[in-house]
Amino acid sequence: MALSDDLRKRVAVAVVEGGLSRNAAARRFEVSIASAVRWVKRYETTGEISPAPSGGDRRSRRIEAHCDYLLGLIRRTPDMTLLEMKERLIANCGERFSVSVLWRFFDRHEITVKKRPRTPRRPRPNSRVINRHLAGIPTKRAIRRLDDALVATLLTFCPLSRTSIR
């Protein structure tokens, strides 16, 4: 739970200007001792009361330092893979980055490199055949195959007679 800047300021002022100890200020304002210590330290070092921004990306600065080099690589050899870029960075810049870091770098800069053109769409089969299949209705070809197989099976197990087979 985030506490208000007003409360943070009252605790910090009570310690810095009022002469209270951090523990006494924490008891007086009913906050934890650790919070009081952090707030006073931040107030003394930076003069800020508000909490520092949390989250976000803290490590992309390393790869962003090589932005011009990476963009130049893409311009010169657009068919280079991420693994090859990783090896070039190690050889030329002495920096090691994972393939996922390189991928996120290019994603941030909205750069996509396709190795081959998009695969053409397959022609759609006849929609009537698809609908019959989804409805569980056999097609004429399937019925013919079933009839031929049934007749062949019955002929092998039943002697030929003059009665019709149903």
pLDDT in tens, 30-65: 999 999 999 999 999 998 888 877 877 777 888 999
- State the DSSP code for 18: T
**Burial of residue 70, with CB atoms counted within 10 A of its CB: 0-12 exposed, 13-18 middle, 19 or more buried:** buried
Give me the mean pLDDT over the 60-83 stretch: 88
pLDDT: which is higher, 115 or 159: 115
Q: What tokens does 86 get?
A: 């990783």
Assess whether pLDDT exceeds 60 at residue 132: no
Beta strands in 22-84 (DSSP E): none
pLDDT of residue 115: 63
CA angle centred on 19, ends 15 and 22, rounded to 5°? 40
Domain boundaries, the chain: 5-46, 60-108, 127-157
